Structure 1
Amino acid sequence: MREDWKNHLIDAGAEFEEDDLLHYGNPERERRMAINGEVICDLSHRGLLEVRGDDATDFLQGQFGNDIRAVDGQHSQLSSYSSPKGRAYAVFRVLRTRDGYLLEMPADRIEPVAKRLQMFVLRANVIIEQAGDSRIHFGCSGPDAEKELQSALGVCPAEVEEVVEKNGVTVVRVPGVHPRFELFGEIDAMRKAWDGLNVHAAPVGPRDWALLDILAGVPTVVEETSEKFVPQMLNLHALGAVSFEKGCYPGQEVVARMHYLGKLKRRMFRLAIHTQTPPQPGSPVFQAGGNPDQSDGEIVAAELHPDGLYSALAVLQVAAAKGELRWDAPDGAKAEVVELPYAVPEGA
């Protein structure tokens, strides 16, 4: 994190452990605010990767699972990068820049994604570099977030994945249980935007933003879950994050075969888990009383909810999700399926 931006957050009450922002002094209150009120959240814990150059569009079109030609100055998209076996290395948001694209994803995915992309550049006119130090990135969410953005910036995207720009700040609307936005820009413009929104929105820590992702049913792939799931298992087709019409890319045969020939046997569900122990990404989910040597699913992400339970996303066997579930062991903590905020097609 940039030192000047870190100091700005400290002035706003942020508490750090080295460079990791934890919270703003009252994590329980902040968690409740994230669910019910207007909040702003620094997103420096999520990495930014810039891909630019004359050949950037064609290059990325041959690598990612969504149709990057649909990304322009007014539209972002959710996409993924998969192995030849069709398993996702990463899930990320793509935005257009003046001469290329910005990819926003968990920080631990930046280096492996950049390294793998670099392997295929060959003679293409493409530059790949980290952009976390050149841009500030924070989120805004809440029932009145649209009004607050209009007041602070004078603009507000109307639809999910719509992008607007004003006075050096780029704003993209992202899925959420309340209107939710991510803002990008250089530090002077972003300081002003943060201070304007901070009048009526409470700053919260990164775990609260991760909780909002879970409640919105938006998956995250991290090191522990990299290459474990085909995009459809993460509901990316339901989120408009997979194109079945575009040309070849790594893993396309697997993704297309599942779409045209198969019925999903595993997909992502939202769970409420009755535990005091934080479920970790990749940890197992079982049918109650099932085989301890054969799990029925895996946690994608989990965060503590204000109700005292852990809200989680998990990829489960569809048949198993119809019965009683346990986390971590067949006789472990109870895990209840909670309805997602979007429909998931039965097919893939």
Structure 2
Amino acid sequence: MNIPLATGSGTPAGTPAGTPAGTSSGITAAAPSSPAGLATLPRPASDEFDAVVQQGAYMPLTQFGVIDVTGDDAASFLHGQLTNDTQHLDAANARLAGYCSAKGRLLASFLTWRSGETIRLLVSKDVQAAVQKRLSMFVLRAKAKLVDASGELAVVGLAGDVRRALSSVFDALPDGVHVKVDGAAGSLIRVPDALGRLRYLWIGPKAAIEARLPSLDGKLKRVSPAVWDWLDIRAGEPRITQPVVEQFVPQMVNFDVLGAVNFRKGCYPGQEVVARSQYRGTIKRRTSLANVVGELDTVKAGAELFHSDDPGQPCGMVVNAACAPEGGVDLLVEIKLAALENGSVHLGAADGPALRFLQLPYGLPTEV
């Protein structure tokens, strides 16, 4: 690798003058029962899962919020804060990105795209307010403003055989992952497939979307937003929610593999840690796909994992959890790579429910 490791000194990029590099982010992980966290969604009915796999379905996604970033310096400001390139983000594409603390730990994950002169950030609703407040602290003299657009916009997920139904709303459909098209009803973004089924995000003005949703009902089944959480997990795409804030360097949740980190861009908070992990071969933890017996009242993001051969200390953590159609809960888990080599991994304690590991839909680099 001939890309040099950034070796800047002093206060990390994006840190206001007088703020020590080790200062807490102010975005704290909440206990799973915290009223500020996302509500636990009921287990979807079996026919809701079947609709995605066998035909097509749509689901309003109440678990997301949207931050609009406007102003002449919106792109350059975000470029100096996020792990991905927003300076060269064009109107036809979306990008995953992370927002890190000075220690390189993820405070949030976003899907980013342009809507006219605005850059939009799709984020888990339970961390939105804290992240928006923190980002606003770093605007300083930049001509940029962050606004909560969640009240004006609707977010809808579509999965399965949905192209014909979408063709009645959009003149053209995205032909590749993270390709975006715009229409009178908002933006349509293709996101990674899950279980070989197409997936799209439709984001636009609430009134425009709500006026068009009834036309989908005769063609697609409306299902719970919990199905989308499951599809994200089966696509291997982690989402930072409140219980796991500041737990992971981007590579631990496979963000380098998913294209959420640009290693050639300029500085951002935590860049040195992220770059050092990439180029010095120190990535000893990754995110894997698994299933475990249980329900979401006990199987939650932030829960620790333990290895059968080392019960005294955790070997990993649940990143995301969602009800699985075949029973139990599907998980994305951040885990020591060595823990996958032998023995068994258990939820909560070494004698807790054993995880059954599944194959991710993408490959991971071989660590040395």
Counterpart code for 2:348: D
SS of 2:314's equivalent in the other structure is coil
CA distance in 2 between counterparts of 1:37 and 1:90 reads 33
Counterpart code for 1:76: A
Q: State the match for 1:139 in structure 2.
A: 157
State whether structure 2 residue 109 is matched by structure 1 residue 91: yes
Which aligned segments of 4 or more residues in structure 1 are displaced greater than 6 angstroms?
none
| Structure 1 range deviating more: 106-115 or 149-158 | 149-158
> What does residue range 204-243 of structure 1 map to in structure 2 within 5 Å?
204-243=223-262
Instruction: Find 1:149's aligned residue among 135, 149, 166.
Output: 166
TM-score (norm 2): 0.84
SS of 1:296's equivalent in the other structure is strand
TM-score (norm 1): 0.89
Please state how far the C-alpha of 1:21 moved relative to its aligned partner: 10
CA distance in 1 between counterparts of 2:40 and 2:156 reads 13
Alpha-carbon distance change, 58 to 210 in structure 1, aligned in 2, over 3 angstroms: same
Point out where structure 2 has 5 or more consecutive residues left out of the alignment.
1-37
Alpha-carbon distance change, 38 to 165 in structure 1, aligned in 2, over 3 angstroms: same
CA distance in 2 between counterparts of 1:97 and 1:220 reads 22
Alpha-carbon distance change, 290 to 20 in structure 1, aligned in 2, over 3 angstroms: closer
Let me know the Cα RMSD of the aligned residues: 2.0
Q: State the match for 2:31 in structure 1.
A: none
Please state how far the C-alpha of 1:119 moved relative to its aligned partner: 1.1
> What does residue range 1-348 of structure 1 map to in structure 2 within 5 Å?
27-142=45-160, 144-177=161-194, 178-276=197-295, 278-291=298-311, 293-323=312-342, 324-347=344-367
Number of matched pairs: 327
CA offsets 1:141-198 (integer angstroms, 9 cap, x no match): 10x1223322443321010000001223210001121110001111332124322322
CA offsets 1:232-263 (integer angstroms, 9 cap, x no match): 10100111110000000000000000111124
| Structure 1 range deviating more: 69-78 or 298-307 | 69-78
| Structure 1 range deviating more: 246-255 or 273-282 | 273-282
CA distance in 2 between counterparts of 1:182 and 1:308 reads 26
SS of 1:165's equivalent in the other structure is strand
More helix by share: 1
Please state how far the C-alpha of 1:344 moved relative to its aligned partner: 1.4
Alpha-carbon distance change, 107 to 185 in structure 1, aligned in 2, over 3 angstroms: same
Counterpart code for 1:206: P
| Structure 1 range deviating more: 144-153 or 325-334 | 144-153
Contact 1:233–1:268 (8 Å) recurs in 2: yes
SS of 2:313's equivalent in the other structure is coil
Point out where structure 1 has 5 or more consecutive residues left out of the alignment.
1-18
Contact 2:92–2:181 (8 Å) recurs in 1: yes
CA distance in 2 between counterparts of 1:319 and 1:33 reads 38
